[in-house]
């Protein structure tokens, strides 16, 4: 298949590009390198020494003989180029990762909030609009988030659609399937709930074939392909804005920092290993929805953990101490999370679990590159609610 990967230089996009190319697909990636620029803005860098994109692509060619084409393009701001590219390439599938993906960054300040909304919604709108305008019948696979469900309101979270019982217009009791009520917990998550509505509309109105993967927190860094050569290494974010919770704990343990648990640690999150992420995307593109099928939604996660339990697991493995800190997020101190993920399991996903041996690989990586860590950037500084002077406080 011809596959276009938007955001193909990122943490999930790069290993996906390698994996799909390795599987024999003809891959082109697009990225505006905004993630690398945000690192510069924040004064941090991936713990792993990621190579410039050209070095990455040349290394892949040298090692495997396979070519991945790359275009430097802003999907949110260069609509005409995007449309022309989709028209020229006529891909069978487009995988869309090209969004600002950190919840803490999206809550940092007005500029980050506005950037996240403008970038994410314009990127999604542009790719959908370009598909309609060109008439290219590509299957769009989008990386969404489990965060669109909030905590699921104490319900078992279905794969996107909830069956409800309501009265029809004649007053008879009837069952309907509706999109699960969105309940975003940050500006970033809010953009993902709005993406869902864009997908709903373009699917209903234009018949676009779309799969939305509601992904859990990704852990790990290496996949089979990124392990092949140091120049292919994947990024490893450990800072308070972009570091995902488990990677951050393992990093903290490696440099002798306490494991910083925000709040009680009773928050439950859904997780998936990066190797399973790339496999799920491959399965999604191999199983495209049929014409006139509604938007397909899969919960792309393999297990749930309480943040405090994770810290305990890492502490037992490494001896690191646990330190509870105030929670900068506006969320319940504790929650349960019960998630249905049968679709990807039925397609053949064999989950990589946290109890497996891969935790040690990340500890090794964290230790190998520990001298690249800037301790001062580990702790999260974004606040969900900004302290204000009394005269400037809003209604409540």
Q: How far is the CB of 191 from ligand NAD (least distance, A)?
A: 9
Residues 6+ apart with CB under 8 A from 36: 9
In the list 47, 210, 218, 246, the residue contacting ligand NAD (rule: CB under 6 A) is 218
To which H or E segment does residue 362 belong? helix 358-368
Compute the distance between CA of residue 345 and CA of residue 4 in angstroms, rounded to an integer: 25
Characterize 302-323 residue by residue with b for buried, 16 or more Cβ atoms within 10 angstroms of its Cβ, and e for exposed.
Answer: bbbbbbbebbbbbbeebebebe
Compute the distance between CA of residue 248 and CA of residue 394 in angstroms, rounded to an integer: 34
Catalytic option among 105, 188, 238, 298: 188
DSSP codes joined into one string, 229-255: -GGGPPP---STTT--HHHHHHHHHHT
In a 10 Å sphere around its CB, with 0-12 CB exposed, 13-18 middle and 19+ buried, how is residue 294 labelled? middle
Q: Does 98 bind ligand NAD (CB under 6 A)?
A: yes
* Pick 48 or 145: Cβ nearer ligand NAD: 145
Residues 6+ apart with CB under 8 A from 389: none
- For the question of residue 67 being annotated catalytic, the response is no
Q: Does 106 bind ligand NAD (CB under 6 A)?
A: no
Q: Does 104 bind ligand NAD (CB under 6 A)?
A: no
Q: Does 76 bind ligand NAD (CB under 6 A)?
A: yes
Q: Does 83 bind ligand NAD (CB under 6 A)?
A: no
Compute the distance between CA of residue 181 and CA of residue 186 in angstroms, rounded to an integer: 15
* Pick 275 or 386: Cβ nearer ligand NAD: 275
In the list 101, 231, 306, 377, the residue contacting ligand NAD (rule: CB under 6 A) is 101
Q: Does 33 bind ligand NAD (CB under 6 A)?
A: yes
Compute the distance between CA of residue 307 and CA of residue 347 in angstroms, rounded to an integer: 29
Q: Does 327 bind ligand NAD (CB under 6 A)?
A: no
Q: Does 10 bind ligand NAD (CB under 6 A)?
A: yes
Which residues are 250's β-sheet partners? none
> In a 3-state reduction of DSSP, which class is residue 115?
helix
In the list 39, 74, 239, 276, the residue contacting ligand NAD (rule: CB under 6 A) is 74
Q: Does 35 bind ligand NAD (CB under 6 A)?
A: yes
- For the question of residue 79 being annotated catalytic, the response is no
How many CB atoms neighbour CB 122 within 10 A? 16
* Pick 17 or 378: Cβ nearer ligand NAD: 17
Q: Does 259 bind ligand NAD (CB under 6 A)?
A: no
Q: Does 99 bind ligand NAD (CB under 6 A)?
A: yes
> What tokens appear for 48 in the block?
């792993």
Catalytic option among 16, 28, 192, 202: 192
> What tokens appear for 51 in the block?
């190579």
Q: Which residue is nearest to ligand NAD (CB)?
A: 10
Q: How far is the CB of 145 from ligand NAD (least distance, A)?
A: 4
| Subset of 125-164 contacting ligand NAD (CB under 6 A) | 143, 145
> Total residues at the site for ligand NAD (CB under 6 A)?
27
Point out which residues bind ligand NAD (CB under 6 A).
7, 9-13, 30-35, 74-76, 97-99, 101, 119, 123, 143, 145, 215, 217-218, 244
Q: Which residues are catalytic?
A: 145, 188, 192
């Amino acid at each position: 298949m011809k596959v276009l990967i938007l955001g193909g230089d990122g943490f999930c996009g790069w290993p996906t590009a390698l994996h799909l190319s390795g599987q024999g697909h003809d891959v082109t990636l697009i990225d505006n390198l905004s993630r690398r620029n945000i690192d510069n803005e924040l004064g941090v860098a991936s713990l792993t020494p990621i190579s410039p994109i050209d070095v990455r692509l040349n290394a892949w060619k040298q090692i495997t003989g396979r070519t991945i084409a790359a275009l430097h393009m802003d999907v949110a701001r260069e609509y005409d180029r995007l449309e022309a590219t989709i028209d020229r390439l006529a891909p069978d599938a487009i995988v869309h990762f090209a969004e600002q993906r950190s919840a803490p960054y999206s809550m940092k300040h007005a500029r980050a909030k506005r950037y996240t909304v403008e970038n994410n919604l314009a990127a999604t709108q542009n790719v959908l609009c370009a598909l309609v305008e060109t008439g290219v019948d590509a299957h769009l696979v989008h990386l969404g988030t489990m965060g669109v469900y909030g905590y699921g309101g104490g319900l078992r979270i279905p794969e996107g659609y909830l069956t409800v019982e309501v009265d029809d217009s004649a007053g008879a009791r009837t069952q309907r399937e509706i999109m699960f009520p969105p309940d975003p917990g940050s500006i970033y998550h809010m953009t993902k709930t709005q993406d869902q509505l864009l997908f709903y509309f373009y699917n209903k109105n234009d018949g676009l074939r779309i799969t939305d993967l509601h992904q859990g927190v990704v852990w790990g860094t290496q996949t089979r392909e990124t392990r092949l050569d140091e120049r292919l290494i994947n990024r490893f974010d450990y800072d308070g804005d972009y570091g995902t919770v488990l990677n951050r704990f393992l990093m903290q343990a490696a440099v002798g920092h306490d494991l910083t648990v925000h709040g009680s640690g009773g928050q439950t999150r859904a997780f998936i290993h990066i190797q399973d992420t790339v496999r799920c995307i491959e399965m999604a593109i191999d199983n495209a929805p049929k014409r006139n099928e509604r938007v397909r939604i899969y919960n792309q996660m393999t297990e749930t953990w309480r943040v405090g339990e994770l810290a305990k697991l890492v502490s037992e493995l490494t001896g690191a101490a646990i330190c509870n800190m105030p929670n900068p997020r506006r969320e319940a101190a504790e929650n349960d999370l019960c998630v249905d993920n049968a679709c990807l399991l039925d397609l053949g996903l064999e989950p990589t679990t946290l109890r497996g041996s891969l935790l040690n690989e990340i500890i090794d990586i964290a230790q190998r590159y520990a001298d690249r860590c800037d301790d001062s950037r580990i702790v999260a500084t974004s606040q969900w609610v900004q302290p204000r002077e009394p005269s400037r406080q809003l209604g409540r």
